Amino acid sequence: MSGPHLFDAGVALEPAGDVLRGRTRPEWKNFIGPFGGLIAAQAMNAVLLHRQRLGDPVSLTVNFAAAIEDGEFDAIATPARTNRSTQHWIVTLQQKGEVVATATALTAIRRDTWGAKEAPVPQVPRPSDVPLPEGPTRVEWVKRYELRFIEGGFPGAWDGGDTGASRTRLWVRDNPPRPLDWLSLTAMSDVFFPRIWLRRATFTPLGTITMTTHFHATQAQLAETGTGYLLGQTQGQGFGAGYFDHSAQLWNEAGTLLATTSQVYYFKE
Amino acid sequence: MSGPHLFDAGVALEPAGDVLRGRTRPEWKNFIGPFGGLIAAQAMNAVLLHRQRLGDPVSLTVNFAAAIEDGEFDAIATPARTNRSTQHWIVTLQQKGEVVATATALTAIRRDTWGAKEAPVPQVPRPSDVPLPEGPTRVEWVKRYELRFIEGGFPGAWDGGDTGASRTRLWVRDNPPRPLDWLSLTAMSDVFFPRIWLRRATFTPLGTITMTTHFHATQAQLAETGTGYLLGQTQGQGFGAGYFDHSAQLWNEAGTLLATTSQVYYFKE
């Protein structure tokens, strides 16, 4: 392999006049359009690359407003409010002058304070003891990750039986490994496959419409995580009237909570 | 009592040229500025009152960018993308030309589909068997709600002991009762007092900086809920480096999941 890591190529934005410009990549294709986690990372990158940016990410909400077509897009990040140690951002991604994604983000200069974790870290086998899935993947972006399912992997049969629960636990890291940063943590917030597929064992057409990630990690904790695996856990909370949600947590191998995240999907039937 | 319900007065917006204008109310004061749930409801109201609005709320993220001063503010809702059955909104609240809050929202025309709930409804006493708190409240907005704490009420003593967990369960409704609608459901997403106060039994200075609510309810479920109580449950997930989060669920008395929500607070020490 030569050249940049495929994640770096995927999230790259280049100045183009007053905006930043990115492009879709075949290596990151989902069923329709690009992997949503990559789009979220591109929105985050538009903030991180802004010359007025203050501090590190604390929260990001990305709304997937339309299917992104293959090709270029503009990423426009605007600091809506800058305070002494916090900054609020509005971001849009646009193609042909139309908004395809909206986002808000908060960045902040973090300080040492009291801290504690409360979301219990699941007791799970080590990554090396959890096999990689066998067989081909349906979509290209999945090849960009090592996804080691501890529980709640893809249904063995799409037989439409309601399993009553939709919890998944997995180990994940970039493939090939890449040191964790804000952008890859953002993208990894979206590696969980749709809960309704697991709950119903039915391959329902669907898509994420909004994802919110809260960043608990500090820059030092990202560095400590390095190229290690993240432990992800997710479960749905409610399904109905065309929409469902999940909430999720991401820890590093040392058990540090790096991010909590939630999203809403639409589904068709 | 005469005149409109104080919640209706609180969320009211009036056309003022090209924007909508609201004003803070003494009845909704928090320690500093207004109750955040009311601000969120005002942002939602700017969407709901927009003549181009399509469908009902599915998600809302509100970012509290600055303290809101007593007086008027402008609420500016822009439809960033309108699809066949979904619509994406960007909202700002402004005072004296400066952004004091940003928001994104998704509205959609919902359809009957398969549905299920997964977040388990806590087994709790009925509202009439849970007493109201005794003693005066510290802030005005709390008087606008009946808050019946089932577990995890305010610490009995602010003695700085780490309780190890921050779960609260409560029954809540407007005081006086008012039929539930999108705006009051939005506001009730923010009735949980800060988890760090419960976890540390320390009256830490703090504020919410971002709140995301996912609406599971349909209009019919709001109507079924009427003036009944909502059961709220919340717990923190991570605390550190000046910020902490919580996630929460809101059900009606019949056990229908109406909303899931999460937020991040900053704290000072």
Q: Which residues of A touch B266 (CB under 8 A)?
A: 86, 108
CA-CA-CA-CA dihedral for A93, A99, A100, A104, to nearest 10: 50
Instruction: Over range A115-133, report the average pLDDT.
Output: 95
Asked if pLDDT for residue A1 goes beyond 70, the answer is no
CB-based contact B59:A244 (threshold 8 Å): no
The burial class, CB within 10 Å (0-12 / 13-18 / 19+), for B203 is middle
Mutate to test the interface with A, among B47, B91, B98, B104 (most CBs of A within 10 A): B104
Q: Are the Cβ atoms of A240 and B115 closer than 8 angstroms? A: yes
Q: Are the Cβ atoms of A119 and B238 closer than 8 angstroms? A: yes
ipTM of the complex: 0.97
CB-based contact A64:A101 (threshold 8 Å): yes
The pLDDT assigned to B251 comes to 98
* Residue closest to A218 by CA, chosen among A256, A162, A255: A256
pLDDT in tens, B186-198: 999 999 999 999 9
Among B80, B99, B118, select the one facing A65 at the smallest CB separation.
B80
How far apart (Å, rounded) are the C-alpha atoms in residues B63 and B211? 7
Instruction: Over range A113-137, report the average pLDDT.
Output: 93
How far apart (Å, rounded) are the C-alpha atoms in residues B243 and B153? 21
Q: Are the Cβ atoms of B218 and A240 closer than 8 angstroms? A: yes
CB-based contact A32:A67 (threshold 8 Å): yes
CA-CA-CA-CA dihedral for B111, B112, B113, B118, to nearest 10: 100
CB-based contact A132:A148 (threshold 8 Å): yes
Could you give the C-alpha distances from B211 to A79, A151, A213, B261, B262, in angstroms and in order?
Answer: 19, 30, 11, 7, 6
The pLDDT assigned to A39 comes to 98
Mutate to test the interface with B, among A198, A199, A212 (most CBs of B within 10 A): A212
Amino acid B76 reads I
- CA A166 centroid distance within chain: 19
Q: Is A120 helix (H, G, I), strand (E, B) or coil?
A: coil
Among A92, A214, A262, select the one facing B80 at the smallest CB separation.
A92
Taking 50 as the pLDDT cut, the residues of chain B under it are none
Token pair for A23? 């492009």
Q: Are the Cβ atoms of B240 and A104 closer than 8 angstroms? A: no
Contacts of residue A18, defined as CB under 8 A and 6 or more positions apart, other chains included, come to: none
DSSP letter, residue B214:
E
Element (H, E) at B173: strand B168-174
Asked if pLDDT for residue A91 goes beyond 70, the answer is yes
Put simply, whether the predicted model's pTM sits higher than 0.90 gets the answer yes
Cβ-Cβ pairs closer than 8 A, A with B, add up to 212
Q: Which residues of B touch A166 (CB under 8 A)?
A: 118
- Percent of chain A exceeding pLDDT 90 equals 91
Q: Are the Cβ atoms of B108 and A199 closer than 8 angstroms? A: no
Among B102, B165, B260, select the one facing A245 at the smallest CB separation.
B260
* Residue closest to A186 by CA, chosen among A80, A63, A50, A45: A45
The pLDDT assigned to A157 comes to 87
pLDDT in tens, A45-56: 999 999 999 999
Q: Are the Cβ atoms of B262 and A260 closer than 8 angstroms? A: yes
Among B81, B106, B264, select the one facing A59 at the smallest CB separation.
B264
